[in-house]
């Protein structure tokens, strides 16, 4: 990955795919998004009004949820605004998220690269 040429594109929020039903889900990186990365990653912004949804990831991926506003329950963990929940999807590829009114969060998932992370000053190798 270190030898890949850097790239840059600008997209407006209106260009990102959005689903609305009991929740608003805007896919920043993932299916149908114009944003293309060199690695397998998904990034969704979600706003929920007192609803539940299933957070689903491909087999062998891991993910995290960062709660921006409100409260929610992920499986058996309570999460409040400003908290970060890491999820390893080894035993289940779906996790139920139950959100209170006006909760908003991001969910990011990706395929682990299986390499150690080495930090040297401001750089990560």
Whose CA is closest to 53, among 73, 68, 33, 67? 73
Token pair of 60, please? 């062998």
Report the top-level CATH class of 22-37+44-112: mainly beta
Instruction: Using the structure block, give the residue that is written with the tokens 């890491």.
Output: 86
What pLDDT does residue 1 have?
A: 57
Q: pTM of the entire structure?
A: 0.76
Measured in degrees and rounded to the nearest 5, phi and psi for residue 120 equal -125, 100
> For the segment 77-120, what is each residue's pLDDT rounded down to a tens digit?
898 999 888 877 665 677 888 888 888 989 898 888 777 777 77
Whose CA is closest to 75, among 63, 30, 47? 63
**CB-based contact 23:49 (threshold 8 Å):** yes
> For the segment 10-60, what is each residue's pLDDT rounded down to a tens digit?
999 899 989 887 778 888 888 889 988 888 888 889 888 777 888 888 778
Q: Span 2-8, mean pLDDT?
A: 76
How far from the centroid of its chain's Cα atoms is residue 109's Cα?
5
> Is the predicted pLDDT of residue 123 greater than 90, yes or no?
no
How far from the centroid of its chain's Cα atoms is residue 29's Cα?
9
Token pair of 55, please? 């957070």
What pLDDT does residue 64 have?
A: 87
Whose CA is closest to 17, among 49, 36, 44? 44
What pLDDT does residue 125 have?
A: 62
């Amino acid at each position: 990955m270190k030898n890949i040429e850097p790239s840059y594109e600008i997209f407006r929020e209106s260009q990102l795919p959005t689903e609305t039903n009991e929740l608003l889900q805007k896919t920043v990186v993932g299916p149908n998004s114009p944003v293309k990365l060199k690695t397998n990653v998904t990034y969704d912004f979600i706003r929920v009004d007192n609803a539940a949804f299933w957070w689903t990831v491909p087999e062998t991926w891991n993910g995290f949820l960062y709660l921006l506003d409100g409260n929610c329950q992920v499986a058996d963990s309570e999460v409040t605004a400003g908290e970060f929940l890491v999820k390893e999807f080894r035993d289940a590829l779906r996790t139920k998220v139950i959100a209170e009114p006006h909760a908003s969060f991001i969910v990011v998932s990706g395929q682990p690269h299986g390499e150690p992370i080495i930090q040297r000053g401001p750089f990560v190798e």
